[in-house]
Amino acid sequence: MKILYGIQGTGNGHVSRATQIIDCLQRRGITVDVIFSGCDKDKVYDQSVIGTPSFFKGFTFSVGNGRIQYINTVQQLSLRQFIKDVQSFDATSYDLVITDFEPVSSRIARKNKLPCIGIGHQYAFLHDIPMDRSNLLSRWIIQHFAKADHSIGMHWHHFDQPIVPPVIPEGVTSSDTMDPALVLVYLPFENRDQVRQMLQPFRDMRFAVYAQNQDDPIKEDHHILWHPFSKTSFFKDLATCSGVICNAGFELPSEALSLGKKILVKPLKGQFEQVSNAMAMERLGLGTVMTSLDRYCVETWLLKPSKGKKEYPDVADHISQWVMDGNWSDTSKLVQDTWN
């Protein structure tokens, strides 16, 4: 079997999850070719697993100062290039397409009449789970952005729906020693000066703040240390920190929950997925939510204890076996095995 795997390159969560699944597929003898869209060619990824991917412009949202920039998003759309990329792609050697909410691979599958599986957190919103039901446009985008014949959604709880737990990368492991004064901060879409102002009052703490750009220099600002994104140092700080402050994506909160770290999330304004994730996190009692960069929320949150570790199985391995079995219209055993 040969698979074309499409990864949405916005942020790092899609890459982290897909890499784990691709590794499991390759260990089972499946050939996997990867395409990225929505990111630059300097995207951080594990070359030992992904190899040499192809990059396409695709579609992505423009984000700035903690909110979706809709005007910039529309201005950056290139429908002509998108159609050209889909039409010119040679898919004759592939048996299956898997998309991690990536639109180019989804359309390639439809054009070439290849079966397509959608794997990712976004596909959980096709079911009855906590979500921002007032955002009709975003709900439409969730349904049509990267359509698949079969889908596997992921979430922190099953909500009695056919979805599975999150995929936790192998590099996410606990440390023997936890530093109660260290907090990991990952707010790449927020204004840096506002992040600094929020963290400055807490001088008895140390904040490891990671930027999205891997070329940024390390900069020490008293008790705030600004890092470029580095998978190695990021996972090291995640393992030893006492808590995580981040946007309300899915992968990083999932990794923090698996390690028993307390979580403070700030959803991007206007971003359906993140607003919905924040709703679910509050409903499940898994973390704390702030609607703006609020130092008073940080102050209260720092006094809270951890919720304890969430134990997740090797979901990537279960998914890769399900893909190999070929009965893609039936997810019942996959769902049951992963939650058990």
CATH numbers and ranges of domains, the chain: 2-168+313-339 (3.40.50.2000), 182-302 (3.40.50.2000)
Residue with tokens 């499409």: 6
Residue type present at position 17: R
Q: Is the pTM of this model over 0.85?
A: yes
The pLDDT mean for the chain works out to 91
Q: In the predicted model, is pLDDT for residue 107 greater than 80?
A: yes
SS3 287: coil
**Sign of the CA dihedral 236, 22, 251, 91?**
positive
63-64 vs 67-68, strand pairing mode: antiparallel
Tell me the average pLDDT across 126-152.
90
Give the residue among 220, 160, 197 at the shortest CA–CA distance from 293: 197
Name, in order, each residue with C-beta under 8 angstroms of 119's C-beta and a sequence gap of 6 or more: 17, 18, 21, 98, 99, 100, 151, 152, 154, 319
CA distance 269 to 44: 26
pLDDT value for 9: 87
Q: In the predicted model, is pLDDT for residue 69 greater than 80?
A: no
- R_g (Cα) of the chain, nearest Å: 20
Terminal Cα distance for the chain, rounded = 29
- The CA-based angle 167-231-217, given to 5 degrees, is 150
Tell me the average pLDDT across 4-13.
88
Give the residue among 328, 268, 240, 317 at the shortest CA–CA distance from 21: 317
Of the given ranges (37-41, 116-120, 273-277, 298-302), which has the lowest mean pLDDT?
A: 37-41
Q: In the predicted model, is pLDDT for residue 84 greater than 60?
A: yes
- Phi, psi values for residue 316, rounded to 5°: -60, -40
Q: Which pLDDT band holds residue 180 (cuts at 50, 70, 90)?
A: very high
Of the given ranges (19-28, 68-77, 184-193, 209-218), which has the lowest mean pLDDT?
A: 68-77
The predicted-structure confidence for 276-333, as pLDDT tens digits, reads as follows 999 999 999 999 999 999 999 999 999 999 888 999 999 999 999 999 999 999 999 9
Name, in order, each residue with C-beta under 8 angstroms of 156's C-beta and a sequence gap of 6 or more: 165, 166, 253, 254, 257, 280, 281, 284, 286, 310
CB 218 within 8 A of CB 227: yes
Q: In the predicted model, is pLDDT for residue 83 greater than 70?
A: yes
The predicted-structure confidence for 93-102, as pLDDT tens digits, reads as follows 999 999 999 9
pLDDT value for 174: 79
Count the helices and strands in the chain (H runs, E runs).
Answer: 13, 16
Query: CB count, 10 Å around CB of 106?
Result: 23
Q: In the predicted model, is pLDDT for residue 139 greater than 90?
A: no
CA distance 302 to 87: 52
Tell me the average pLDDT across 138-156.
92
